[in-house]
Amino acid sequence: MIGAGERGVVLNFGAVQDKVLEEGLHFRIPIMQKIILMDVKVQKATTDAVAASSNLQDVSSTVAINYHIVPDKAQIVYQTIGMQFKERIIDPAVLEVVKAVTARYSAEELITKRTAVSDAMRTNLTQRLMVHNIAVDAFSIVGFSFSKIFMEAIESKQTAEQLALKAQRDLERIKIEAEQKITAAKAEAESLRLQRANISLDLIELRKVEANLKAIEKWNGILPQVTGAGAVPFIGVGDVLKR
């Protein structure tokens, strides 16, 4: 009986046969035949790897993959690898891929370009395992870890960059505030200039009125009879007032 997610590898007197038994009920010849059950469902494997970055920083990685045996190649996997395919094939392949890809990037890039690093590792690992009839369904880097000294250096660099960015923003804010103050000062100066102009005109008019008032106060009530040769005589203001 071949269960769900399994394939049966047929052995005739210990020799692997080309035929693979699918799920369901099958008959075998006693003594002569033996059926080896192979799990072809998706399985998970986690592998720890140590590698060096392009700038020679030690990097410890934990990689998790989901994989499955190609169902119609189960007999080849059993014949060439056996049942211990994780230890014999998957783990060594992961170690080689992690070392090869990690060496292409600096330690900082392994952090900032994690998606690209993960994609490169998955592509490389998929090609390597497919040669052994093992398909990769999912790949993920669970974590990167670096030396304590390197992590402290990264933190110091990030802190310095943040402080520099803050200083730049503060400088821009100060420049904007200064420009706003200059604009406001110019507007205020223009307003004062217009006010002074208005005050000067009003003051001139006021002085004219004051001069007229003083002239009236000093006037004796008698108008000049003539203003010049041939002019028409003025009517006396006093005479008008008497009326």
Instruction: Tell whether the model's pLDDT for residue 102 goes beyond 60.
Output: yes
Q: Bigger pLDDT: 182 or 202?
A: 182
Quote the CA–CA distance of 39 and 42 in Å, as a whole number.
9
pLDDT digits (tens, 9 = 90+) for 194-218: 777 666 666 677 777 777 777 777 7
145: helix, coil or strand?
strand
The pLDDT value given to residue 201: 65
- Residue range 156-163: average pLDDT? 74
Tokens read off for 141: 């880097």
Report the pLDDT value the prediction gives residue 238, as an integer from 0 to 100.
46
pLDDT at position 241: 43
Question: Can you tell me whether residue 94 is helix, strand or coil?
Answer: helix
Angular region, 24: left φ>0, alpha ψ -120 to 50, beta rest: left
Mean pLDDT of 136-165: 79
| Crossing angle of the two packed helices 91-102 and 114-130, in degrees rounded to 10 | 140
Taking 90 as the threshold, does the pLDDT of residue 149 lie above it?
A: no
Task: Record the pTM.
Answer: 0.61
Largest CA distance in the chain: 162
pLDDT category of residue 175 using cuts at 50, 70 and 90: confident
Mean pLDDT (the chain, rounded): 83
User: Residue 177: its pLDDT value, please?
Assistant: 82
What does the alpha-carbon distance between residue 28 and residue 21 come to, in Å, rounded to a whole number? Answer: 11
Contact 47, 63 (CB under 8 A): yes
> Which residues, other chains included, contact 92 with Cβ-Cβ below 8 Å and sequence gap of 6+?
none
With pLDDT > 90 as the criterion, what percentage of the chain qualifies? 39
Give residue 239's pLDDT: 46
* Number of residues assigned to the chain: 243
* The token pair that represents 12 in the structure block: 């005739």
Give the residue carrying structure tokens 């008019």: 205
Q: State pLDDT tens for residues 70-89.
A: 999 999 999 999 999 889 99
